Amino acid sequence: MAVGVVGLLCFISTFFSSVSNFGDFTNFEQRGRSMGTRAVLGMVLMVAGGFLMRVGRMGLAGSGVKLDPEEARRDVEPLARMTGGVIKDAMDEAGIKGGPPPNEELPFDERLRRLQKLRDDGLVNEQEYESTKKKILESA
């Protein structure tokens, strides 16, 4: 809007200049060029101001920015499912470490539950289960 106002003031100033110098023909050519330049520049600025106001009124629509949060979530979903996801990336950028502290192990009963689940799911056989169970109990 400011660009349009400056353009309008520039354009109107040509009329004030012509009224204030009415009948004075000294330096007519230079004043004529100055007033013509101000008039054209004022019109260009008014048109540019109107264009900028129209773009501003439309907001971010058409700029590629997703205004609908649901649509934005759908666009980010494949990235979120990738290894680590968006939250992990943001935490890494901020220097925040997630999960249990690195030197702190899970309690032995939790490790036993997880080992039992692995055996129930068929991911470890009976021999691996017994040897790992023995190590967990010895370390407790």
Nearest-angstrom CA–CA distance, 60 and 62: 6
Question: Looking at the domain assignment, is residue 125 inside a domain?
Answer: yes
Question: Looking at the domain assignment, is residue 7 inside a domain?
Answer: yes
Question: Looking at the domain assignment, is residue 94 inside a domain?
Answer: no
Nearest-angstrom CA–CA distance, 133 and 77: 39
Question: Looking at the domain assignment, is residue 40 inside a domain?
Answer: yes
Question: Looking at the domain assignment, is residue 130 inside a domain?
Answer: yes
Question: Looking at the domain assignment, is residue 69 inside a domain?
Answer: no
Checking if the pLDDT of 27 tops 60, the result is yes
Question: Looking at the domain assignment, is residue 20 inside a domain?
Answer: yes
123's tokens: 């991911």
Alpha-carbon dihedral sign for residues 79, 82, 87, 88: negative
Give pTM, 2 decimals: 0.38
Question: Looking at the domain assignment, is residue 101 inside a domain?
Answer: no
Nearest-angstrom CA–CA distance, 59 and 51: 13
Per-residue model confidence (pLDDT) at position 28: 79
pLDDT digits 0-9 by tens, 59-94: 665 566 666 778 777 777 776 666 566 677 777 778
**Domain encompassing residue 133:** 108-139
115, 129 in Cβ contact below 8 A? Answer: yes
Count: domains in the chain: 2
User: In the predicted model, what is the mean pLDDT of residues 112-135?
Assistant: 90
Q: CA separation (Å) from 117 to 64, 111, 122, 136?
A: 47, 10, 9, 15
Q: CA separation (Å) from 139 to 91, 102, 109, 118, 127?
A: 33, 18, 12, 20, 19
